[in-house]
Amino acid sequence: MSGVSGLTGIRFAFGTLTVLPVRLTRWDREAARAGMLCAPLAGLVVGLAAAVTGGALQLLGAGSALAAVAAVAVPAVLTRGLHLDGLADTADGLGSGKPAEDALRIMKQSDVGPFGVITLLFVLLAQVAALAQLYDRGWAHGALAAVTAGVTARLALTLAARPGIPAARPGGLGSAVAETVPVRTALAVTALVTACCAGAGALLGGYGAVHQAVAVLAGLAGAQLLLRHCARRFGGVTGDVFGALAETAATVALVALALG
């Protein structure tokens, strides 16, 4: 990690992507690169927390719907809703139809517009519905899906921090991490994470390994489509866009798992 310790990267990832009490020791380009490479690890912890909560409720007799709601609520709590807020702000910016500078200004406002509300509603409904269907197949299916969604969401951020996608404006997380992760390194991390998810899916038997791998890649593809659109529309990425990418990747991955 070019002179930056793995611990520094972990601190950056958890300090910026979760509300866990992790103290940031560095805030520079090298630390940001290391942090974005460790982003899937933060997603793993968030996903495990969601899986444990949802699975425990189901094992205690709660229905699949309640387990799914809990599994969706935990990541929101552990990120202080920042990714959901970014999704809503990005939706408002994209839906405004205004030039990039005006759209970015709309995204910085503290209120949420109609496009943001509608997007949040349907994304959360999709996540809950997909997880409920997966919990219906058994707690293991739902728990693994929660973990896969958490990891895929943060892996999308690793890929979004590659060269060629600049920050849309100075300041904030988007500016700190934009263009910090080399393409080959991002692809290597993607291959490793996908393989790990596939290995976990193999424990479910059948085509579990393939299903998990396809879900990860589908989530990343959905996030990349949004990233390309935002880069053209805003001239680059912002912290809000990163949040939108995470929620998009998680949602598409869950839907892909539910469709299997």
133: number of Cβ within 10 Å: 20
**Structure pTM?**
0.94
CB neighbour class for 249 (10 Å; exposed up to 12, middle 13-18, buried from 19): buried
- The band of 34, judged by pLDDT with boundaries at 50, 70 and 90, is very high
In whole angstroms, give the CA distance from residue 78 to residue 130: 21
Instruction: Give residue-wise pLDDT tens across range 176-221.
Output: 899 999 999 999 999 999 999 999 999 988 799 999 999 999 999 9
> Could you tell me if 252 and 123 are in contact, meaning their C-beta atoms sit under 8 angstroms apart?
no
Q: Where are the domains of the chain?
A: 39-258
Among residues 188, 249, 185, which one has the least CA distance to residue 217?
A: 249
Residue-by-residue DSSP string for 102-131:
HHHHHHHSSS--HHHHHHHHHHHHHHHHHH
DSSP output for 177-206: HTT-S-HHHHHHHHHHHHHHHHHHHHTT-T
Q: pLDDT tens for residues 141-153?
A: 999 999 999 999 9
